[in-house]
């Protein structure tokens, strides 16, 4: 856990006053399990990285600068999953960089996590043109790579950031508001998932930062109960 002074700085970055009264979200466990995905790549990490780097399964390969595989601790207890690379991620080959990445770092630090202590990945490994939402076909082609990463990292808890990431990972069309405040189960290992807002959305809609803080505290509590 970060020291109180540092924690205050992180909460300030989220735009949240420490003294404000917090309401704990209701824990609603949703244990339903989706159909297990077909494993299409090797369980060797280097082979998986190569498969992603050379993938041409959908048209996105023709307009990418590079794939964005993911970064972080390969034995992490926490896994962060976003939607897809943006322009900066496509240029640097790393998920969650720029302003959204800085806010993500602050959000993680607020619950005592360093960026380097989690594993960060996206639903898609290539940037959709114009940062548009991924198509169902693109998600279907790319999701097995993420499933394989989950199988290898074996996180204790997944944080899904944003509607597209949450819906794609959980195989649902429920809105993000309906998915918040519950523990979901994600394939391929039935890993517990907590859903919250994407940092890029919070930058555009700072009034929702307090809800995101509630989600983070909820995730921290669930993780503690799983240990």
Per-residue pLDDT tens for 123-174? 999 999 998 999 999 999 999 999 999 999 999 999 999 999 999 999 999 9
What is residue 9's predicted lDDT score, i.e. its pLDDT?
59
Longest dimension (CA), the chain: 51
What is residue 15's predicted lDDT score, i.e. its pLDDT?
66
What is residue 227's predicted lDDT score, i.e. its pLDDT?
79
Residues of the chain with pLDDT under 50: 1-3, 19-41
Q: Are 225 and 156 in contact (CB under 8 A)?
A: no
What is residue 18's predicted lDDT score, i.e. its pLDDT?
57
Q: Phi, psi (5° rounding) for residue 71?
A: -140, 160
Helices (H), the chain: 4-13, 45-53, 87-92, 98-110, 136-153, 163-170, 176-179, 199-204, 209-226
Crossing angle of the two packed helices 136-153 and 45-53, in degrees rounded to 10 = 160
Q: Which helix (H) or strand (E) holds 125?
A: none
Based on the structure, what is the number of domains in the chain? 1
Domain that holds residue 173: 4-16+25-226
Return the CATH number at 84: 3.40.470.10
Residues comprising the chain, all counted: 227
What is residue 4's predicted lDDT score, i.e. its pLDDT?
58
What is residue 8's predicted lDDT score, i.e. its pLDDT?
66
């Amino acid at each position: 856990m970060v020291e109180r002074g540092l924690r205050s700085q992180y909460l300030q970055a989220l735009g949240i006053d420490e003294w404000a009264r917090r309401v704990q979200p209701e824990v609603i466990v949703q244990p339903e399990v989706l159909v297990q995905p077909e494993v299409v790549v090797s369980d060797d990490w280097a082979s998986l990285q190569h498969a992603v780097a050379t993938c041409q399964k959908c048209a996105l390969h023709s307009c990418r600068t590079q794939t964005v595989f993911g970064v972080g601790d390969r034995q992490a207890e926490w896994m962060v999953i976003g939607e897809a690379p943006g322009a900066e991620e496509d240029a640097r080959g790393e998920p969650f960089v720029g302003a959204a990445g800085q806010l993500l770092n602050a959000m993680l630090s607020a619950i005592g996590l360093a960026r380097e202590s989690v594993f960060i990945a996206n639903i898609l490994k290539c940037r959709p043109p114009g940062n548009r939402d991924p198509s169902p076909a693109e998600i279907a082609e790319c999701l097995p790579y993420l499933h394989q990463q989950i199988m290898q990292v074996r996180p204790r808890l997944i944080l899904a950031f944003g509607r597209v990431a949450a819906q794609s990972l959980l195989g649902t069309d429920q809105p993000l508001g309906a998915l918040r405040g519950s523990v979901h189960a994600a394939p391929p290992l039935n890993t517990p998932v907590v859903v919250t807002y994407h940092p890029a959305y919070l930058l555009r809609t700072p009034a929702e930062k307090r809800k995101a803080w509630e989600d983070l505290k909820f995730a921290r509590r669930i993780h503690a109960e799983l240990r």
